[in-house]
Amino acid sequence: MSEQVIGGKSFTAVAINCAAKAGEWIKTKLGNHTSLSLKYSAQDLVTEVDKGAEAMIRNLVMTHFPHHSFLGEEGVQPGPEASDRALQSVRDAEYLWIVDPLDGTTNFVHSFPFFSVSIALAHRGEVIVGVVYDPIRDELFVAEKGKGAYVRGRRMNVSQEEALRDSLIATGFPADQTFALPLNMKGLQALVPQVRNVRSGGSAALHLAYVAAGRLSGFWEIGLNAWDIAAGSLLIEESGGRVTDVKGSPYDLGVRHVAASNGRIHDEFLNALQQAESNS
Ligand code: IPD
Ligand code: CA
Ligand code: CA
Protein backbone atom coordinates (compact mmCIF):
# COMPACT_ATOMS: atom_id res chain seq x y z
CA MET A 1 0.00 0.00 0.00
CA SER A 2 1.17 3.50 -0.70
CA GLU A 3 1.84 6.11 1.93
CA GLN A 4 -1.26 6.85 4.00
CA VAL A 5 -0.21 10.17 5.49
CA ILE A 6 0.66 13.32 3.62
CA GLY A 7 1.73 16.37 5.59
CA GLY A 8 0.51 14.76 8.79
CA LYS A 9 -3.06 14.24 7.56
CA SER A 10 -4.13 10.61 7.61
CA PHE A 11 -6.44 9.53 4.81
CA THR A 12 -8.42 7.41 7.24
CA ALA A 13 -8.77 10.22 9.78
CA VAL A 14 -10.15 12.51 7.08
CA ALA A 15 -12.56 9.82 5.86
CA ILE A 16 -13.81 9.24 9.41
CA ASN A 17 -14.13 12.96 10.07
CA CYS A 18 -16.13 13.46 6.85
CA ALA A 19 -18.46 10.55 7.55
CA ALA A 20 -19.05 11.60 11.16
CA LYS A 21 -19.71 15.25 10.32
CA ALA A 22 -22.03 14.45 7.41
CA GLY A 23 -23.82 11.74 9.37
CA GLU A 24 -24.45 13.97 12.38
CA TRP A 25 -25.81 16.69 10.11
CA ILE A 26 -28.05 14.24 8.24
CA LYS A 27 -29.46 13.07 11.57
CA THR A 28 -30.45 16.64 12.51
CA LYS A 29 -32.42 16.82 9.24
CA LEU A 30 -34.36 13.60 9.82
CA GLY A 31 -38.08 14.40 9.51
CA ASN A 32 -37.50 17.93 8.24
CA HIS A 33 -36.02 17.84 4.77
CA THR A 34 -37.59 20.53 2.59
CA SER A 35 -37.17 19.39 -1.00
CA LEU A 36 -37.77 16.01 -2.56
CA SER A 37 -37.21 15.26 -6.23
CA LEU A 38 -37.04 12.25 -8.51
CA LYS A 39 -33.93 11.27 -10.44
CA TYR A 40 -33.74 8.23 -12.72
CA SER A 41 -37.14 6.76 -11.89
CA ALA A 42 -40.11 7.28 -9.57
CA GLN A 43 -38.19 5.17 -7.00
CA ASP A 44 -34.94 7.15 -7.25
CA LEU A 45 -35.18 10.01 -4.75
CA VAL A 46 -32.95 12.92 -3.84
CA THR A 47 -33.28 15.67 -1.23
CA GLU A 48 -31.36 18.80 -0.39
CA VAL A 49 -29.81 16.76 2.43
CA ASP A 50 -28.13 14.34 -0.01
CA LYS A 51 -26.67 17.30 -1.87
CA GLY A 52 -25.68 19.22 1.27
CA ALA A 53 -23.94 16.18 2.76
CA GLU A 54 -21.99 15.60 -0.43
CA ALA A 55 -20.92 19.26 -0.59
CA MET A 56 -19.76 19.06 3.03
CA ILE A 57 -17.69 15.92 2.35
CA ARG A 58 -16.27 17.24 -0.90
CA ASN A 59 -15.18 20.51 0.75
CA LEU A 60 -13.48 18.70 3.60
CA VAL A 61 -11.67 16.25 1.32
CA MET A 62 -10.56 19.00 -1.05
CA THR A 63 -9.31 21.16 1.81
CA HIS A 64 -7.03 18.35 2.95
CA PHE A 65 -6.16 16.82 -0.42
CA PRO A 66 -6.69 19.41 -3.18
CA HIS A 67 -5.01 17.22 -5.83
CA HIS A 68 -7.16 14.16 -5.25
CA SER A 69 -10.05 13.17 -7.54
CA PHE A 70 -13.62 12.94 -6.29
CA LEU A 71 -16.57 10.83 -7.47
CA GLY A 72 -19.76 11.56 -5.56
CA GLU A 73 -23.24 10.37 -6.43
CA GLU A 74 -24.75 13.84 -6.48
CA GLY A 75 -22.12 15.15 -8.89
CA VAL A 76 -23.13 12.60 -11.53
CA GLN A 77 -26.13 12.58 -13.89
CA PRO A 78 -28.70 9.92 -12.89
CA GLY A 79 -28.80 6.49 -14.52
CA PRO A 80 -26.39 3.60 -15.09
CA GLU A 81 -24.76 4.89 -18.31
CA ALA A 82 -23.89 8.28 -16.83
CA SER A 83 -22.54 6.56 -13.69
CA ASP A 84 -20.33 4.28 -15.78
CA ARG A 85 -19.02 7.23 -17.80
CA ALA A 86 -18.29 9.23 -14.66
CA LEU A 87 -16.37 6.31 -13.16
CA GLN A 88 -14.39 5.65 -16.34
CA SER A 89 -13.23 9.28 -16.43
CA VAL A 90 -11.59 9.02 -12.98
CA ARG A 91 -11.07 5.35 -12.15
CA ASP A 92 -7.31 5.37 -12.78
CA ALA A 93 -6.68 8.54 -10.79
CA GLU A 94 -3.81 8.32 -8.34
CA TYR A 95 -6.16 9.01 -5.44
CA LEU A 96 -9.93 8.85 -5.91
CA TRP A 97 -12.54 9.51 -3.20
CA ILE A 98 -15.77 7.62 -3.89
CA VAL A 99 -18.70 8.95 -1.91
CA ASP A 100 -22.35 8.15 -1.35
CA PRO A 101 -23.30 10.99 1.01
CA LEU A 102 -26.60 9.37 1.99
CA ASP A 103 -27.15 5.72 1.15
CA GLY A 104 -30.79 4.91 1.89
CA THR A 105 -32.47 8.15 0.84
CA THR A 106 -35.89 6.47 0.68
CA ASN A 107 -35.48 5.46 4.32
CA PHE A 108 -34.33 8.94 5.26
CA VAL A 109 -37.38 10.48 3.54
CA HIS A 110 -39.72 8.13 5.46
CA SER A 111 -37.82 8.46 8.78
CA PHE A 112 -37.06 4.73 8.63
CA PRO A 113 -33.87 4.64 10.71
CA PHE A 114 -31.53 2.69 8.43
CA PHE A 115 -29.22 4.75 6.24
CA SER A 116 -25.54 5.55 6.05
CA VAL A 117 -22.71 7.67 4.73
CA SER A 118 -20.25 5.69 2.58
CA ILE A 119 -16.75 6.97 1.84
CA ALA A 120 -13.93 5.10 0.11
CA LEU A 121 -10.49 6.13 -1.04
CA ALA A 122 -8.98 4.25 -3.98
CA HIS A 123 -5.33 4.36 -4.99
CA ARG A 124 -4.95 3.65 -8.72
CA GLY A 125 -8.23 1.75 -8.71
CA GLU A 126 -7.68 -0.22 -5.52
CA VAL A 127 -9.72 0.66 -2.43
CA ILE A 128 -7.33 1.43 0.45
CA VAL A 129 -9.72 3.05 2.95
CA GLY A 130 -13.41 2.31 3.51
CA VAL A 131 -15.72 3.98 6.01
CA VAL A 132 -19.47 3.43 6.44
CA TYR A 133 -21.21 5.45 9.15
CA ASP A 134 -24.69 4.79 10.57
CA PRO A 135 -25.60 8.02 12.39
CA ILE A 136 -28.73 6.58 14.01
CA ARG A 137 -26.82 3.88 15.92
CA ASP A 138 -23.63 5.93 15.96
CA GLU A 139 -21.79 2.99 14.41
CA LEU A 140 -18.68 3.68 12.41
CA PHE A 141 -17.33 0.82 10.31
CA VAL A 142 -13.78 1.44 9.14
CA ALA A 143 -11.19 -0.54 7.19
CA GLU A 144 -7.69 0.13 5.92
CA LYS A 145 -6.16 -2.15 3.30
CA GLY A 146 -4.03 -4.76 5.03
CA LYS A 147 -4.87 -3.49 8.51
CA GLY A 148 -8.23 -5.08 9.27
CA ALA A 149 -11.70 -3.67 9.76
CA TYR A 150 -13.26 -2.32 12.94
CA VAL A 151 -16.60 -1.27 14.36
CA ARG A 152 -16.79 0.63 17.65
CA GLY A 153 -13.06 0.00 17.96
CA ARG A 154 -13.48 -3.80 17.80
CA ARG A 155 -12.02 -5.94 15.05
CA MET A 156 -14.72 -7.32 12.75
CA ASN A 157 -14.97 -10.86 11.46
CA VAL A 158 -17.44 -12.28 8.98
CA SER A 159 -19.94 -14.91 10.13
CA GLN A 160 -19.34 -18.64 10.36
CA GLU A 161 -22.19 -20.13 8.31
CA GLU A 162 -21.01 -22.81 5.91
CA ALA A 163 -24.22 -23.34 3.93
CA LEU A 164 -26.96 -21.25 2.39
CA ARG A 165 -29.62 -23.04 4.45
CA ASP A 166 -28.11 -21.55 7.64
CA SER A 167 -27.59 -18.09 6.15
CA LEU A 168 -29.22 -14.71 6.60
CA ILE A 169 -28.94 -12.90 3.28
CA ALA A 170 -29.82 -9.33 2.30
CA THR A 171 -30.65 -7.63 -0.96
CA GLY A 172 -32.21 -4.43 -2.26
CA PHE A 173 -34.95 -3.51 -4.68
CA PRO A 174 -33.22 -1.48 -7.39
CA ALA A 175 -34.75 1.77 -8.62
CA ASP A 176 -34.07 0.70 -12.24
CA GLN A 177 -37.28 -1.19 -13.02
CA THR A 178 -36.46 -2.20 -16.57
CA PHE A 179 -33.19 -4.09 -16.15
CA ALA A 180 -32.01 -4.43 -12.55
CA LEU A 181 -35.24 -5.02 -10.63
CA PRO A 182 -36.53 -7.98 -12.70
CA LEU A 183 -33.16 -9.74 -12.42
CA ASN A 184 -32.98 -9.11 -8.72
CA MET A 185 -36.52 -10.50 -8.29
CA LYS A 186 -35.48 -13.74 -10.02
CA GLY A 187 -32.68 -14.11 -7.51
CA LEU A 188 -35.00 -13.35 -4.63
CA GLN A 189 -37.56 -15.91 -5.80
CA ALA A 190 -34.87 -18.57 -6.02
CA LEU A 191 -33.02 -17.76 -2.81
CA VAL A 192 -35.83 -17.34 -0.28
CA PRO A 193 -36.57 -21.10 -0.03
CA GLN A 194 -32.85 -21.95 0.11
CA VAL A 195 -31.73 -19.65 2.94
CA ARG A 196 -32.72 -19.09 6.57
CA ASN A 197 -34.25 -15.76 5.58
CA VAL A 198 -33.79 -12.63 3.49
CA ARG A 199 -33.69 -9.01 4.67
CA SER A 200 -33.93 -5.80 2.71
CA GLY A 201 -33.14 -2.80 4.88
CA GLY A 202 -32.67 -0.21 2.11
CA SER A 203 -29.00 0.77 2.40
CA ALA A 204 -26.60 -1.30 0.33
CA ALA A 205 -23.54 0.20 2.03
CA LEU A 206 -24.89 -0.64 5.48
CA HIS A 207 -25.80 -4.17 4.38
CA LEU A 208 -22.21 -4.65 3.20
CA ALA A 209 -20.95 -3.35 6.56
CA TYR A 210 -23.24 -5.87 8.26
CA VAL A 211 -21.72 -8.70 6.21
CA ALA A 212 -18.30 -7.54 7.42
CA ALA A 213 -19.55 -7.46 11.02
CA GLY A 214 -20.95 -11.01 10.80
CA ARG A 215 -24.56 -9.81 11.18
CA LEU A 216 -25.46 -11.00 7.68
CA SER A 217 -24.02 -14.02 5.87
CA GLY A 218 -24.26 -12.39 2.46
CA PHE A 219 -25.66 -9.61 0.29
CA TRP A 220 -26.32 -9.28 -3.42
CA GLU A 221 -27.89 -6.64 -5.61
CA ILE A 222 -28.05 -5.97 -9.34
CA GLY A 223 -27.41 -2.47 -10.67
CA LEU A 224 -25.54 -0.72 -7.87
CA ASN A 225 -22.92 2.00 -8.39
CA ALA A 226 -19.31 2.33 -7.33
CA TRP A 227 -20.27 4.63 -4.44
CA ASP A 228 -22.68 2.03 -2.99
CA ILE A 229 -20.06 -0.73 -2.89
CA ALA A 230 -16.49 0.60 -2.69
CA ALA A 231 -16.24 1.23 1.07
CA GLY A 232 -18.20 -1.91 1.97
CA SER A 233 -16.04 -4.08 -0.26
CA LEU A 234 -12.94 -3.26 1.77
CA LEU A 235 -14.80 -3.71 5.07
CA ILE A 236 -15.70 -7.25 3.97
CA GLU A 237 -12.32 -8.20 2.54
CA GLU A 238 -10.57 -6.98 5.68
CA SER A 239 -13.03 -8.98 7.80
CA GLY A 240 -12.23 -12.23 6.00
CA GLY A 241 -15.12 -12.29 3.51
CA ARG A 242 -15.38 -12.30 -0.26
CA VAL A 243 -16.72 -9.75 -2.75
CA THR A 244 -17.24 -10.51 -6.45
CA ASP A 245 -19.68 -9.68 -9.17
CA VAL A 246 -22.63 -12.06 -9.43
CA LYS A 247 -20.75 -14.14 -12.01
CA GLY A 248 -17.79 -14.59 -9.66
CA SER A 249 -15.27 -12.12 -11.11
CA PRO A 250 -13.18 -10.41 -8.44
CA TYR A 251 -14.41 -7.04 -7.20
CA ASP A 252 -13.19 -3.91 -8.92
CA LEU A 253 -14.58 -0.36 -8.98
CA GLY A 254 -16.65 -1.11 -12.09
CA VAL A 255 -18.68 -3.92 -10.48
CA ARG A 256 -22.40 -3.06 -10.45
CA HIS A 257 -23.97 -6.49 -9.84
CA VAL A 258 -22.40 -7.45 -6.56
CA ALA A 259 -22.34 -10.61 -4.47
CA ALA A 260 -20.67 -10.39 -1.08
CA SER A 261 -20.46 -12.99 1.65
CA ASN A 262 -18.54 -14.53 4.50
CA GLY A 263 -16.64 -16.49 1.80
CA ARG A 264 -17.75 -19.86 3.14
CA ILE A 265 -21.10 -19.75 1.35
CA HIS A 266 -19.88 -17.81 -1.68
CA ASP A 267 -19.78 -20.55 -4.31
CA GLU A 268 -23.16 -21.94 -3.28
CA PHE A 269 -24.56 -18.38 -3.27
CA LEU A 270 -23.26 -17.68 -6.80
CA ASN A 271 -24.56 -21.05 -8.01
CA ALA A 272 -28.03 -20.29 -6.71
CA LEU A 273 -28.05 -16.92 -8.51
CA GLN A 274 -26.73 -18.57 -11.67
CA GLN A 275 -29.41 -21.29 -11.55
CA ALA A 276 -32.05 -18.59 -11.24
CA GLU A 277 -30.54 -16.79 -14.23
CA SER A 278 -30.50 -13.71 -12.10
CA ASN A 279 -26.87 -12.88 -12.87
CA SER A 280 -27.72 -11.41 -16.30
C1 IPD B 1 -29.92 2.91 -2.83
C2 IPD B 1 -29.82 2.03 -1.62
C3 IPD B 1 -30.77 0.87 -1.74
C4 IPD B 1 -30.52 0.08 -3.00
C5 IPD B 1 -30.58 0.98 -4.20
C6 IPD B 1 -29.59 2.13 -4.05
P7 IPD B 1 -29.49 5.55 -2.49
O8 IPD B 1 -29.01 4.00 -2.73
O9 IPD B 1 -28.52 1.53 -1.42
O10 IPD B 1 -30.64 0.00 -0.66
O11 IPD B 1 -31.47 -0.93 -3.11
O12 IPD B 1 -30.27 0.20 -5.34
O13 IPD B 1 -29.67 2.97 -5.18
O14 IPD B 1 -30.20 5.98 -3.74
O15 IPD B 1 -30.38 5.57 -1.31
O16 IPD B 1 -28.20 6.23 -2.30
CA1 CA C 1 -26.64 4.53 -2.74
CA1 CA D 1 -27.20 8.21 -2.13
- Whether residue 172 is found in the same domain as residue 104: no
Provide the CATH number for the domain around residue 205. Answer: 3.40.190.80
From 130, 155, 180, the end of a domain falls on 155
- Whether residue 80 is found in the same domain as residue 11: yes
- Whether residue 79 is found in the same domain as residue 168: no
Tell me: the pLDDT tens digits for 87-118?
999 999 999 999 999 999 999 999 999 999 99
Q: What is the mean pLDDT of residues 15-39?
A: 93
Q: Which residues line ligand 1 (CB under 6 A)?
A: 100, 103-105, 172-175, 202-204, 221, 224, 228
- Whether residue 13 is found in the same domain as residue 150: yes
- Whether residue 199 is found in the same domain as residue 263: yes
Provide the pLDDT confidence category of residue 1 given band limits of 50, 70 and 90: very low
Domain carrying residue 273: 164-278
- Whether residue 24 is found in the same domain as residue 149: yes
Which residues fall in the annotated binding site? 73, 100, 102-103, 228
- Whether residue 17 is found in the same domain as residue 78: yes
Tell me the CA end-to-end span of the chain in Å, nearest whole number: 34
From 116, 136, 155, the end of a domain falls on 155
- Whether residue 98 is found in the same domain as residue 184: no
Provide the CATH number for the domain around residue 25. Answer: 3.30.540.10
- Whether residue 107 is found in the same domain as residue 212: no
- Ligand 1 atom showing the smallest separation from residue 106 Cα: 15
Number of domains in the chain: 2
Residue 5 in this model has a pLDDT that exceeds 80 = no
Provide the pLDDT confidence category of residue 45 given band limits of 50, 70 and 90: confident
Which residues fall in the annotated binding site for Mg(2+)? 73, 100, 102-103, 228
Q: What pLDDT score does 28 carry?
A: 97
Q: What pLDDT score does 37 carry?
A: 85
Provide the pLDDT confidence category of residue 4 given band limits of 50, 70 and 90: low
Q: What angle do CA 82, 132, 13 make, to 5 degrees?
A: 105
- Whether residue 68 is found in the same domain as residue 186: no
- Ligand 1 atom showing the smallest separation from residue 225 Cα: 13
Q: What is the mean pLDDT of residues 130-156?
A: 97
Tell me: the pLDDT tens digits for 229-275?
999 999 999 999 999 999 999 999 999 999 999 999 999 999 999 99
Provide the pLDDT confidence category of residue 277 given band limits of 50, 70 and 90: confident
Read off the pTM.
Answer: 0.96
Task: Supply the DSSP string of the chain, one letter for each residue.
Answer: ----EETTEEHHHHHHHHHHHHHHHHHHTTT----EEE-SSTT-EEEHHHHHHHHHHHHHHHHH-TTSEEEEGGGS-SSHHHHHHHHHHHTT-SEEEEEEEEE-HHHHHTT-S--EEEEEEEETTEEEEEEEEETTTTEEEEEETTTEEEETTEEP------SGGG-EEE----S-TTTHHHHHHHHHHHHGGGSSEEE--S-HHHHHHHHHTTS-SEEEESS--HHHHHHHHHHHHTTT-EEEETTSPBP-TT--SEEEE-STTHHHHHHHHHHTT---
Protein residue with least CA distance to atom 4, ligand 1:
172
- Whether residue 127 is found in the same domain as residue 178: no
Whole-number percent of the chain with pLDDT over 90: 86
- Whether residue 81 is found in the same domain as residue 189: no
Mean of all residue pLDDT scores within the chain:
94
Residue 279 in this model has a pLDDT that exceeds 80 = no
